[in-house]
Amino acid sequence: MKDYVDRLGMAGIDNPMRDVRLMLAAILGTTHEEILFNPPQTLTPEQHNKFEAWVDRRCRQEPLAKILGKKEFWGRDFKVTKDTLDPRPDSETLIEVVLNLMPLGQSARILDLGTGSGCLILTLLAERPNWTGVAVDFSPPALTIAQENAQSLHVSDRVVFVHSDWFQAVDGIFDLIIANPPYIARDEVLPPETLYDPDSALFADDGGLADYRKILSCAAEFLTFQGLILFEIGCHQAKSVTEIATTLGFNLVSLHKDLAGRDRCLVFMK
């Protein structure tokens, strides 16, 4: 095991021991804790070849989630592929904000724009059994993954999936709209691991602001009276996105920071 840990370390992987244990756990169908306390002494040839291939992929900076095919978010595992943005801890800020804003027991209909793996809307539906929602994405493969995640979380009966370019194919009104749109400027240099996510989920025109403008220009007609729209934002975008929203008739309700103290979520009311 030490040789593999050293290989990952030399490739610049943070916490290579953890990654080795997680890969072994996935291959052996056990847990990280079991590998920690009872490391395997031998692997079958098939298991060894698979492990070698995974280590090679990790050394090339491919995210562990893409290798394992899953990522934990808000205490639940979500299937991910090359067609979906890996759920990030920063995005859990949106979940915390929504659950704090809307009292337990209050019913709600929510719309998730650019759902990807479905981590946002499906987490909210799992946390609030009386909520329903619509999940939208422009990518059919991403919608397929989100549907599989809905089934594994047992919320399929409360969510509808729609293939749409933002609001284009959406009907009805909602108490809450959530969105984590592409917000990275096209000339920004990103860490190698990030580039394994689909470009369409990362980059936007107008310095990363184009999709906020597109969404906010249409959002009001899809919100109930006093309905809310929440965005994940880049850590330096709060002022710019607020200016766009204000110009289009929205009032800023609140700004929220992630666990690292960076601006991460904006809440608006029409």
Q: What share of the chain is helix, strand, coil (3-state, %, to 5)?
A: 45, 20, 35
Which of 38, 60, 82 delimits the end of a domain? 60
Give the separation between CA 194 and CA 185, rounded to whole angstroms: 14
Please check whether residue 65 lies inside any domain of the structure. no
Which residue in this structure is represented by tokens 């989630």?
A: 65
The 10s digit of each residue's pLDDT in 14-63 is: 999 999 999 999 999 999 899 988 888 889 999 999 999 999 999 999 99
Q: Are residues 162 and 100 both part of a single domain?
A: yes
Assess whether pLDDT exceeds 90 at residue 2: no
Q: What is the pLDDT of residue 39?
A: 86
Q: What is the pLDDT of residue 141?
A: 98
pLDDT above 70: percentage of residues in the chain: 100
Which of 35, 60, 85 delimits the end of a domain? 60
Contact between 131 and 158 (Cβ < 8 Å): yes
Which of 154, 155, 86, 95 shows the shortest CA–CA distance to 117? 86
Please check whether residue 163 lies inside any domain of the structure. yes
Q: What is the pLDDT of residue 38?
A: 86
Q: Are residues 50 and 136 both part of a single domain?
A: no
Please check whether residue 104 lies inside any domain of the structure. yes
Q: What is the pLDDT of residue 9?
A: 96
Give the confidence band of 205 by pLDDT, cuts at 50, 70, 90: very high
Please check whether residue 169 lies inside any domain of the structure. yes
Q: Are residues 178 and 222 both part of a single domain?
A: yes
Q: Are residues 122 and 9 both part of a single domain?
A: no
Q: How many domains does the chain have?
A: 2
Q: Are residues 37 and 102 both part of a single domain?
A: no
Q: Are residues 128 and 235 both part of a single domain?
A: yes
Please check whether residue 67 lies inside any domain of the structure. no
Give the separation between CA 27 and CA 53, rounded to whole angstroms: 12
Q: Are residues 179 and 113 both part of a single domain?
A: yes
Q: Are residues 50 and 78 both part of a single domain?
A: no
CATH of the domain at 105: 3.40.50.150
The 10s digit of each residue's pLDDT in 61-116 is: 999 999 999 999 999 999 999 999 999 999 999 999 999 999 888 899 999 999 99
Q: Are residues 50 and 91 both part of a single domain?
A: no
Q: What is the pLDDT of residue 30?
A: 94
Please check whether residue 66 lies inside any domain of the structure. no
The 10s digit of each residue's pLDDT in 113-159 is: 999 999 999 999 999 999 999 999 999 999 999 999 999 999 999 99
Which of 140, 165, 143, 142 shows the shortest CA–CA distance to 218? 165
Q: Are residues 26 and 148 both part of a single domain?
A: no
Q: Are residues 190 and 257 both part of a single domain?
A: yes
Which of 14, 38, 60 delimits the end of a domain? 60
Give the separation between CA 98 and CA 87, rounded to whole angstroms: 17
User: Cα(first)–Cα(last) distance of the chain, in Å?
Assistant: 56
Q: What is the dihedral of CA 138, 144, 146, 147, to 10 degrees?
A: 130
Q: Are residues 54 and 80 both part of a single domain?
A: no
Which of 181, 225, 226, 229 shows the shortest CA–CA distance to 206? 181
| Mean pLDDT over each residue of the chain, to the nearest integer | 96
Q: What is the pLDDT of residue 94?
A: 98
Contact between 201 and 114 (Cβ < 8 Å): yes
Structural domain that includes position 56: 2-60
Q: What is the pLDDT of residue 72?
A: 96
Please check whether residue 183 lies inside any domain of the structure. yes
